[in-house]
Amino acid sequence: MSEVAVADGRTARRGRLGTEVLPVGERLDARRALQLSLAAIWLLDAVLQYQAFMYSKGFTQMIGGTAAGNPSVIARPISWNATLVEHHLVLVNTIFATIQLLIGLGIAFRPTVRVALAASIAWAVGVWWFGEGLGGVLSGAGSPLNGAPGAVIIYALLAVLLWPADRDAAAPFIAGRAVGAHLARALWLVLWLSLAYLALTPANRAPQALNGVIAGMESGEPGWLAAADRGAASLVANRGLAASVVLAVALVLIAVGVYLPRPAAKATLLLAILVALVIWVFGEALGTILTGGGTDPNSGPLLVLLALTYWPVAAATRPTRPVGTEGMAV
Amino acid sequence: MTPAWILDIFAALMLVVAAVSAARLVVARPWQRGSALLDTDVSHLLMGIAMAGMLASGLTTLSNTAWVVIFALLTAWFAFRVLVDARANGVRALAGGHCAPHLVHGAAMVFMFGALAGPAGGGGSGMSGMDGSSGSAMQTLRYPTLAFVFALILIGYSIWDIDQLSGRRYSTTPARVAPVAVAVPAMVGAEPATATLPSPRATGAAAADGVPSGSAASAEARPAPGGYGGGAAARGLLLSPATTVGCRIAMGVTMALMLLLMI
């Protein structure tokens, strides 16, 4: 039944509608909040997978297209997968969507968070290969602006970093708690340096390369986003090398930022969030979700979420016991 | 095209939500003096029917205009509730209060019915079958950006609800909290309500019951008619806050799905 609005003052704040009095120390753990954000993105993925486009030949062509340029040992399984999907499109795509739905719901549902995170890692690695062609890293088609090194592999990385265990409970950021601060920093460094490297590959530093990537996203988008893409594309027209160098420098700064003192680290994390948002809006057109053909929101939101997992946390906010470890030794 | 049978599954889920909400209304007897209020369940009942009608090609319900009017009224009601909540509890209640998700649900329904594009938008039912056709061609929405924003918010609330539900923040039994008389506006059509102002002790009792303070169940100042005898467990579960939240999760996820399918 419904609720009655109540109260003011101190009591009311403690007993606000739709909330409950949480004993001190039981407020939402920062890692749990990040897990829930990851769950929300998985759920969004799942819902997008049920779209009409995913039940059309366009989807299988999209999968098959990721084989191009990859070594045959990588490309052959991709082609096999595309053929399988084409022959059993409705069944296979529905299974895909439902798996993602279960992963999203499973991460949000506390008793199954570990199982769901583990499943998400396995699923993400499989999709990275069979569905995204390793994000174009080996084919030379990957660019930080179009989602390289593959949005889905960032899901797996986030699942590892947000795993509900405390190997290093004193880590200065959430990502370090599950795998240790040193390894977490190394993973961050590798990711962002690889993005910097990809920004400088010949295909991406060509005079019209960035312009082409951005302008190519305009089709089918709502007016405001198409206009924004047009503006950004004209800004980098014939300035591919300069734009790539600027982007690469920013990415290198971001990569080393987690090794810097706290204020500088925060600044570089803010830069990471800004760059991720710029990539998401201008390079990825919000994952082309607004065209009805996006399979996922692409890498932008995941890079933002990743940056937040490295945000320095105060000692006082570090939690006591991770969700998903009830009744087990951590 | 998204297969019609998938949409039918979600339509069936919405009908289950509507049936559960109707059962809650019947069992709790909100028309009796002193009974708990009913806006959430009425909202879920209407939304369940309307969404099932949009999803399933074979279901014909009301006209789009009628639904827009109905959900606009519900949205206005929940907006009022959220404002009252915010005045009492601060601006955080605008997003985090109990009524905020219901407000978003209501607004999303108004948007869905009001922003249907093309001639298909003028008819009665059939997201998957325009005005009763048997195909699975989707109706589309004007303002896809707004649809996306609504979907994101709905997904966020659903994920939050699942977390809270699995964290046992919501009881699976009707709550019992001693009411403290504070007059506040209540439900349209309901008796003048006696709201529960949780004193620290009462609030603690609510929390001990696993019930969000000031939430649905906390308004139930006394056990529902019939006591807790035979069949009480099932009845208790039906009337529990957990059931309300479960319905809200199903509705939120389905609504997000519909919005994104109609982009």
User: If we measure between CA atoms, which residue out of A121, A67, A29, A79 comes closest to residue A324?
Assistant: A29
Tell me the torsion sign for CA atoms A311, A314, A316, A320. positive
| Token pair in block for residue B243 | 């059931």
Q: How far apart are CA A250 and CA A133, in angstroms?
A: 26
Structure tokens at A218: 């305009």
Q: Do B155 and A47 touch (CB under 8 A)?
A: yes
State the CB neighbour count (10 A cutoff) for residue A61: 11
User: Does residue A34 contact residue A174 with C-beta atoms inside 8 Å?
Assistant: yes
- DSSP-assigned letter for residue B124: S
CB < 8 Å to A94, chain B:
3, 6
Chain A stretch 198-237, residues whose beta carbon is closer than 8 A to a beta carbon of chain B: 222, 224-225
Residue-level pLDDT at B195: 36
Q: Helix, strand or coil for residue B230?
A: coil
Among the residue ranges A91-95, A186-190, B133-137, B231-235, the one predicted with the least confidence is B133-137
What integer pLDDT is reported at residue B114 of this predicted model?
Answer: 93
Q: Is B134 helix (H, G, I), strand (E, B) or coil?
A: coil
Average pLDDT value for residue range B156-176: 82
Angle at B241 between CA B237 and CA B243, to 5 degrees: 55
Contact A85, A63 (CB under 8 A): yes
Residue recorded with tokens 């807790």:
B228
A13: contact with B, CB 8 A cutoff: yes
As beta bridge partners, residue A19 has B213
A159-to-A36, A152, A164, B165 alpha-carbon distances in Å:
11, 11, 9, 22
**Inter-chain touch A289–B148, beta carbons under 8 Å:** yes
Strand partners for B141:
B116
Element spanning A273, H or E: helix A262-278
B122 has a pLDDT exceeding 50: no
Confidence of residue B117 (pLDDT cuts 50, 70, 90): confident
For chain B, what percent of residues have pLDDT higher than 70?
66
Give the pLDDT confidence score for residue B59 in this predicted structure: 84
Give the confidence band of B233 by pLDDT, cuts at 50, 70, 90. Answer: confident
- Predicted local distance difference test score (pLDDT) of residue B131: 41
What's the ipTM?
0.86
Lowest mean pLDDT among A247-256, B28-37, B157-166: B28-37
Binned at pLDDT 50, 70 and 90, residue B232 comes out as confident
Q: What is the pLDDT of residue A148?
A: 86
Q: Which of A186, A84, A165 is nearest to A126 (CA)?
A: A84
Is residue A243 within 8 A of residue A144, CB to CB? The reply is no
Between CA B259 and CA B263 the distance in angstroms is 6
Q: Is A52 on the interface with B (CB under 8 A)?
A: yes
For residue A10, the distance in angstroms to the closest alpha carbon of chain B comes to 9
Beta carbons of B214 and A108 less than 8 Å apart: no
In whole angstroms, what separates CA A21 from the centre of its chain? 33
Give per-residue pLDDT as tens, B91-108: 888 888 888 999 999 999
Q: Which residues contact B121 (CB under 8 A, 6 or more apart)?
A: B64, B115, B139
Q: Are strands B194-196 and B181-183 parallel, antiparallel or unpaired?
A: antiparallel
Runs of H (alpha helix) within B167-224: 200-208
pLDDT by residue for chain A (330 residues), tens digit each?
Answer: 443 333 333 333 333 333 333 343 356 789 999 999 999 999 999 999 999 999 999 998 989 998 988 999 999 999 999 999 999 999 999 999 999 999 999 999 999 999 999 999 999 999 999 988 898 888 877 899 988 898 999 999 999 999 999 988 889 999 999 999 999 999 999 999 999 999 999 999 999 999 999 999 988 899 999 999 999 999 999 999 999 999 999 999 999 999 999 999 999 999 999 999 999 999 999 999 999 888 899 999 999 999 999 999 875 455 555 665 543 432
Kindly determine whether residue B206 and residue A15, on different chains, have CB atoms separated by under 8 Å. Answer: yes
- Whether the predicted pLDDT of B182 surpasses 50: no
Chain B neighbors of A7, CB-CB under 8 A: 88-89, 182, 197-198, 214
Residue A173 backbone dihedrals phi, psi, to 5 degrees: -145, 160
A residues 176-205 near B, CB within 8 Å? Answer: none
Secondary structure class of B116 (helix, strand, coil): strand
Contacts of A323 in chain B (CB under 8 A): 167
